[in-house]
Amino acid sequence: MTDLYVSSAEDLYAALAHAKAGQHIYLEAGEYDDIAIWYGLGIDLDLHGVTLASADPSAPAVIHNFEAKGVSNLTISDVVFDYDYRVGQPTYKRPFEFIDCTNIKLDQVTFNGDVATDLSPEADGFGTGIGLSVRSNDGFTLTDSALHGFMIGASFGNSTNVSVTGNDISEMRIDGLTFTKMQNVTIAGNTIHDFLRSPTAGDHADMIQFWTNGNVTPTTDIRILDNTLMTADGDPTQGIFIGNEALAQGFGEEMFYDGLEISGNTLLLEHLNGIYVGGARDLVVSENTVLNPAPQAEDSALPRIRVDPISSEVTIAGNLVTDIWGDKGQSDWQVFDNIDPPNANPETLELVSSDTTVCRLLPPTPVSDSFRFAPHQDDLERAAPQDDIPITWDQISEAAQITGQIEMANTQADDTNVHLYLGEPEFM
């Protein structure tokens, strides 16, 4: 089977009209302003496994606008989708769309965004547009690709059998990945990081977001696995936010997320909402690491796992996280083997009061590194710093003659002393 080479949109349409099942069509290096594959071309839109790729991956074809509508069985690889903002375009512009498609695969594709200008004070200078838009698809795969510098990285709606794996997503103004009205979705092995938010826009920014606002059918069978979500050098952002606005719009359990697993993810964030789930049934949140890498930073919060208490058949297990909200002893909830990290930063000691309010975070300075806590018979005696004795939780436990994790109640501190008042020890 002979490979086909094209250098314009018109050449591509002619090649698609005659392509055989499984054939490769290669785009020569260069820029392509507009490509639209739709019924208006008058060709068979079932492409039977055709692959569209760059002729030279080291000099990829650059496509500025792309639409596939009603297309089936197409793979696209090693191309660049490059959005050029034009003054007056709305922030929700969708330059790269797949609508009513079946069995589409995108592999090793780069999506480059652009910033808004002369639009509004909130939007100017920040990422704009929706990098990838997928609506009413059955079977869509995005793998080993990169999305950078949009308002929203990728938006998926009313679709089934979707897989988003191994991608790098960064420098978004609002959201990395958004989903609504979905069935059978896998989001795995992605790295999402370094958001660049507009400080005056009031955006609800999330790295991964699901929502049900205005929906009448539930989202089901969702797996969010082994992703890495990091603030890194960017702006604080919520992590995994599974919102269920339909519950506030008159719906009940019929709109619960059904069959949702969030497991094995690493979230290094400064926002309170590390993982949030609203109204779900058959929910598993397990073996996630949810930490703040810079707990001493101004306006920094310790991220938590929060699940709406009305959820049913819930398992929250084996997570490393400072706090879990929603567990009220419901009979169909299992919450076990979660670890409350005594040290939210490997180099920072966190002292926590009895109501879990952070009292003091000790940085790794020569002074604070020398602290050791030594309780006295009088519960109100002060623990004094000792020279050249590093802080470890084993030493704290040993000094208090208690094994396990100690709740540091009624703790106060100034720049040179830590005052630890030990009442009856409790486990957190």
Can you give the residue ranges of every domain in the chain?
Answer: 57-336, 347-428
Rounded alpha-carbon distances, angstroms, from residue 151 to 95, 119, 239, 288, 302: 12, 13, 16, 27, 26
Question: What per-residue confidence (pLDDT) applies to 117?
Answer: 95
Residue range 211-215: average pLDDT? Answer: 94
Question: What per-residue confidence (pLDDT) applies to 297?
Answer: 61
Whether 354 shows a pLDDT value over 60: the answer reads no
Taking residue 358's Cβ as centre, other Cβ atoms within 10 Å add up to 16
Whether 403 shows a pLDDT value over 70: the answer reads no
- Residue 202: band (very low, low, confident or very high) from pLDDT cuts 50, 70, 90: confident
* Amino acid sitting at position 6: V
Distance from C-alpha of 428 to C-alpha of 425, rounded to nearest angstrom: 10
Distance from C-alpha of 247 to C-alpha of 256, rounded to nearest angstrom: 8
Whether 424 shows a pLDDT value over 80: the answer reads no
Least confident of 39-48, 154-163, 218-227, 267-276: 267-276
Report domain 57-336's class.
mainly beta
- Residue 428: band (very low, low, confident or very high) from pLDDT cuts 50, 70, 90: very low
For residue 380, report the phi and psi dihedrals to the nearest 5 degrees.
Answer: -95, 5
Distance from C-alpha of 397 to C-alpha of 405, rounded to nearest angstrom: 8
Residue-wise pLDDT for 313-331, tens only, equals 999 999 999 899 999 999 9
Question: What per-residue confidence (pLDDT) applies to 293?
Answer: 80
Residue range 259-274: average pLDDT? Answer: 94
- Residue 299: band (very low, low, confident or very high) from pLDDT cuts 50, 70, 90: low
Residue-wise pLDDT for 139-173, tens only, equals 999 999 999 999 999 999 999 999 999 999 999 99
Burial class of 9 by CB neighbour count within 10 A (0 to 12, 13 to 18, 19+): middle
Distance from C-alpha of 327 to C-alpha of 211, rounded to nearest angstrom: 22
Residue-wise pLDDT for 49-87, tens only, equals 999 999 999 999 999 999 999 999 999 999 999 999 999
Question: What per-residue confidence (pLDDT) applies to 401?
Answer: 33
pTM of the entire structure? 0.81
Beta pairing, strands 46-54 & 72-77: parallel
Percent of the chain with pLDDT over 70: 79
